[in-house]
Structure 1
Amino acid sequence: MQIRRTARILLFDEARRLLLMHMHDPDVAGANGRVLTRSYWVTIGGEVEPGEELAEGARREIAEETGQSDVTLGPAVWYGEHVLVIRGEPRLLQETYFVAFTGDGKISDANWTDTERAVVKEMKWWDAEALLQSDALVFPTSLREHLPPLLEGRYPRSPLRIEP
């Protein structure tokens, strides 16, 4: 099975809102081969390129998915693994989640790929309280459980193993 190293980013603005993507990708299925029938919210981020360090990949993904380059990248706080079937091929995703901060809430899709344009429905800055109370489907599914300490500035010494 192919391994996909992934940098995911918990990008916060000055108001401590979290940026999430609302999407649905019919070419991605769970390990069981079933595609979700409803849309979902995910953190920004993506595959780390060969030879690229995780933090470099996180910075690149932020620039590509938001258009922002003046972002403070914080520590890696979470790690999770799971299998997805992407365009018919099973892949083991190894996801490292970084905290990052921006003073600018403006988002640009100028650097999006054609695939991102096809599957991303919207980008939204979520107020923590609204996100914690929402019944929206969010990945990682344990995000709501592990988010409050981060909002208080309490980061684990090493990435916490989470359920994606």
Structure 2
Amino acid sequence: MDAPAQKRLRRAARIIVLDPDDRALMFRFDVPNRPPFWVTAGGECEPDESFDEAARRELFEETGITADPGSQIARTTPEFVTVEGEPVRADERYYLVRVAEARIDTANHTELEQCLMTEHRWFTVAELRDWPEAVFPVNIADMIEQELNP
């Protein structure tokens, strides 16, 4: 009997972007044959890229914001199926960036992001806790509150 194939390790930087009202920017994904879900800005690290470098690059590509992502605030290691359909083991590092205004530019989204990232909005912590669709990471409200009330 063959051993199950080892899932690829997917290194990713995720950025929690907070506006002046402490609302978090989230992107809605509509993937065919899957329920919609919401995630923070961010994505997979390039092979030669550090998590910090990926956070800076992903922040700009997905939001148009140029900012230092600062220090890592959290880490998760979920297993999931990517939007391309690949089962992975993830190593996700989280950063928090505050912005002066709730305005973003999605002009640098990839073709895949343009197809699947159908919406973005700013969520209060209470909305993140009670949203009827899946929100990832599942503990994002706790992550934000921990940063707001250290």
Confirm whether residue 123 of structure 1 aligns to residue 129 of structure 2. Answer: no
| Unaligned stretches of 5+ residues in structure 1 | 27-34, 155-164
Alpha carbons of 1:134 and 1:89: their partners in 2 closer, same or farther (altered >3 Å)?
A: closer
Structure-2 separation of matches of 1:40 and 1:7: 18
CA contact (8 A) 1:72 1:101 kept: no
Alignment match, 1:44: 41
**Cα offset for 1:108?**
1.1
SS in 2 for 1:99: strand
Alignment match, 1:90: 87
**Cα offset for 1:68?**
1.2
Alignment match, 2:4: none
Structure-1 separation of matches of 2:133 and 2:73: 23
Alignment match, 2:65: 68
Alpha carbons of 1:150 and 1:113: their partners in 2 closer, same or farther (altered >3 Å)?
A: same
| Unaligned stretches of 5+ residues in structure 2 | 1-6
Identical columns (%): 32
SS in 1 for 2:11: strand
Calculate the TM-score normalised by the size of structure 2.
0.85
Which one of 99, 107, 112 corresponds to residue 110 of structure 1? Answer: 107
Q: When you count strand as a share of all residues, which structure comes out higher?
A: 1
RMSD between superposed Cα atoms in Å: 1.8
Structure-2 separation of matches of 1:47 and 1:145: 23
**Cα offset for 1:52?**
1.1
Alpha carbons of 1:119 and 1:14: their partners in 2 closer, same or farther (altered >3 Å)?
A: same
Structure-2 separation of matches of 1:128 and 1:85: 26
More displaced stretch, 134-143 vs 111-120: 134-143
Amino acid aligned to 2:90 = L
Alpha carbons of 1:84 and 1:134: their partners in 2 closer, same or farther (altered >3 Å)?
A: closer
SS in 2 for 1:145: helix
